[in-house]
Every structure is written in structure tokens, then in C-alpha cells.
Structure 1
């Protein structure tokens, strides 16, 4: 979702049962999307802070969103063969953006695997920034799931800091 030539790519894990699986758009209509679209709007990458699904008027600006896995995984945890089967789709999405925000360790690992980069060379950590090559940066964030928000593993301020960091990288 979003323009194919966007400078920012947000990579999630997989379609959520009540979100993308139902609406056909990443993060639209689920709890995780609530905070995500709010942040995209606050930092100028979306024209509105809410997305309920197609036809809601949402437009992403210089931002694209995708998932590491294209199908709804069992128990919300993609299996290795599912990640490998979808890696080519993710690889194609990674050609253009200068900044990639990975939502969660599995998205982080999927980005590195799709680029044939050794995962151990770039350990996951919230707000960690990894220079992938001379033009691309990967920024990690805890996933904006209800669980991570309720347990305060991820806070609103911590999530905002990741998107502020992404904005700084794009204007630098």
C-alpha cells in the first residue's frame, strides 16, 4: 500500500486477522494500525490518522507499507517456509526506499534475509539503526501490537521516536 517510489517503507509481519486479512490493506482496521496511522499522519506520511479499510480516504505520502508474509499465519506466527515463500515479494519492495522501518524482530529478520544479509551482523533492538548499504537504512521498532502497548514494552513516545528518527534520515 502506498506509492511504489516512496522513500519510506514500513514492514510489518503478516496480515492480521481483523486488519489486512479482512480489509485487504496492511494495518487497516486493526488495533496495531491505530497507533501506526496516527504516527504516519503526525510525521507527514499520511493524510489522516485513521484507516478502517479501502474507501476511507487514506492516502500515504512518500510512504509505502508491506508485510514480510502475504498470508494469514497460524497463531499469528509465520512458519519458516511461509517466510521463505514470500521473501521474493519483500525483496522487490526493498529496491526503492531509503529508510525501512521494521515492526518487530520477525520483520527485521525478514528484511535482512530478503537482502541476503547475515542476520547476526545486525541485531534487532528498538530504535536501533542499521546502515544496509551506501543509501539504505533499517530502523527497528517493537511491533505496535496491542500486547506490546498493554505491557508497555512499546510506548507511544517510543514509537514516535522511531518515526522522528526516520524523518531525520530522510531529510539528512
Structure 2
């Protein structure tokens, strides 16, 4: 077992936030009618992707009947349908769908994680829950530091979690801290020196609207917009078409 596998195992056993523990386990017991015959994961959902990823995608939190059911980030819900289709379209995934842990999906140089690993009520973790969960993201960033060259953050909540986590994990975040926006690109140096922006020492940080149903159904985030951010980030990381 490598260090990232060990981290994922420890994440999946976390019980630090009582409200989230109660909610995720209640959802796993009661289930949605369409999934009544399935056994829900009902635990924190670890990151997904290779340990030498060059591109990291950071979301918000698992969906109650998506990741909380399947045990994989963005798997088994409509947000994931949009994300994995886009990853496939730009050459970063082996297939356009993600429905279960054993569906054969592979990501090419990409890892997907979140600042909150438990499904929250109404898809809204509290800032306090985000801060409690932040050490997991910091550790994940530290383990990916030798290879990661670009980070795509989906949504403002994730952006607010990612900036301090990057700083704690060994990067020098610009001050004042850059504001979130779709298409924002920020070069981030390592705190021990080196040039920011995708080189051997730094990384490029990208903002993207979240792949929530609200954003995708209203057209705030279109498939083309998502593909553009992912393909630009992939090029910055040395991946993709």
C-alpha cells in the first residue's frame, strides 16, 4: 500500500463531524427508492485517481445518493455525468461514464478530490466542517506535490478551501488571495522557491463553475465551458490532447 492509498483508507474511517456522520449514515439506511436494492457506501469518500497525478480536480463534497452511495467521487449522479463526459472528451478518462467502483473507469494523470469528504445535508457543508476536513486535503496535496502541476477548483466553496490548504502544503499563495471566478488562472510558487505556473516547482490554479445541476441546467456552465477549462489545465499539466 502506498502513502496515498493509506491516506484514502484513513479518510474513509473519519468520524470527526457529528452532523455529517449522522446525515451520511441516515441516507445510507433510508436510501432513495431507485437504489433501494443497493448497499450504500455511507462513509467519507476518498479521492480517486492515480498517485502520480499531474492534474488535481477539487470539488465540493460527495452527493448523498452519488458518492455517498457508490464510494467514488462524482460517481452515480448527474454532476458526475457532466464531469466524466468532459474528462473523456478531452482525453483524460477511459470512458465517459462513472457509475460504480468496479465499472473499469481509469483517469489519465488526473485525480479528483474534495475539501469535504462526507455528503452534507442540502449539499451545504458548513465553513466549520470545511475547516475540520482541511487536514485531509493538505495531506493529499503534500503527497501529490512531486507530480501535480495544475489544479482545477470547481466552485467558490472549494476555492476558499484550496487556497489555505495549498499554503499549508508548501506553496506560496499570492496575497491578496486571488478571488474565485470561472476561467481564472493563477500561478502559484512553491514556498521553498521556484517559479510559479506549471514548471518543475510551481503549479497553475484554475477556477471553474461547479458542475452542479443548477449550473448545468441553467447554462451557467456549459459542456464547452467545462471542456475549455479542463483542456487548458491539462496542457498546463502536460496532459491531454
What secondary structure, in the 3-state scheme, does the structure 1 residue paired with 2:94 have? coil
Compute the RMSD of aligned alpha carbons.
1.6
Residue 164 (structure 1) aligns with = 231
State the distance in 2 between where 1:75 and 1:119 align.
33
CA distance in structure 1 between the partners assigned to 2:149 and 2:238 by the alignment: 11
1:12 and 1:107 in contact (8 A); partners too: yes
Counterpart CA distance in 2 for 1:66 and 1:120 is 25
Q: Which residue of 1 aligns with 2:150?
A: 99
CA deviation after TM superposition for structure 1 residue 120, in Å: 5.0
- Retained in 2: the 8 A contact 1:47–1:59? yes
Distance 1:83 1:111 in 2: 10
SS of aligned partner of 1:132: strand
Runs of 4+ in structure 1 deviating by more than 2 angstroms, as ranges, are 115-120
Once the two structures are TM-superposed, the CA of residue 107 in structure 1 deviates from its matched residue by 0.8
Q: Assess, with a 3 A threshold, how the Cα gap between structure 1 residues 54 and 119 changes in structure 2: closer, same or farther.
A: farther
For 1:54-110, what per-residue CA distance to the aligned partner results, in whole angstroms no more than 9, with x for missing partners? 111101111101111011112211112211111111112223221111011111111
Q: Which has the larger radius of gyration?
A: 2
- Is structure 2 residue 214 aligned with structure 1 residue 147? yes
Is 2:66–2:75's contact at 8 Å kept on the other side of the alignment?
yes
Deviations 1:105-142 (A, max 9, x none): 11111110212447852110101101121211110100
Q: Is the 8 A contact 2:54 2:109 kept in 1?
A: yes
1:37 equivalenced with 2:88 (yes/no): no
Note closer, same or farther for the CA distance 1:23–1:11 as it changes in structure 2 (3 Å cut).
same
Structure 1: stretches of 5+ with no match in the other structure: none
TM-score (norm 1): 0.94
Q: Structure 2 CA distance, aligned partners of 1:92 and 1:161?
A: 29
Contact conserved, 2:64 with 2:120, CA < 8 A, in 1? no
Give distance in 2, aligned partners of 1:111 and 1:7: 16
Between Structure 1 and Structure 2, how many residues are aligned? 172
1 CA distance for matches of 2:79 and 2:160? Answer: 20
Cα distance change on mapping 1:156 and 1:80 into 2, 3 Å: same
Corresponding residue to 1:4 among 35, 51, 57:
51
Q: List runs of 5+ in structure 2 lacking aligned partners.
A: 1-47, 168-172, 190-195, 197-201
Number of the residue aligned with 1:137: 204
Distance 2:176 2:103 in 1: 41
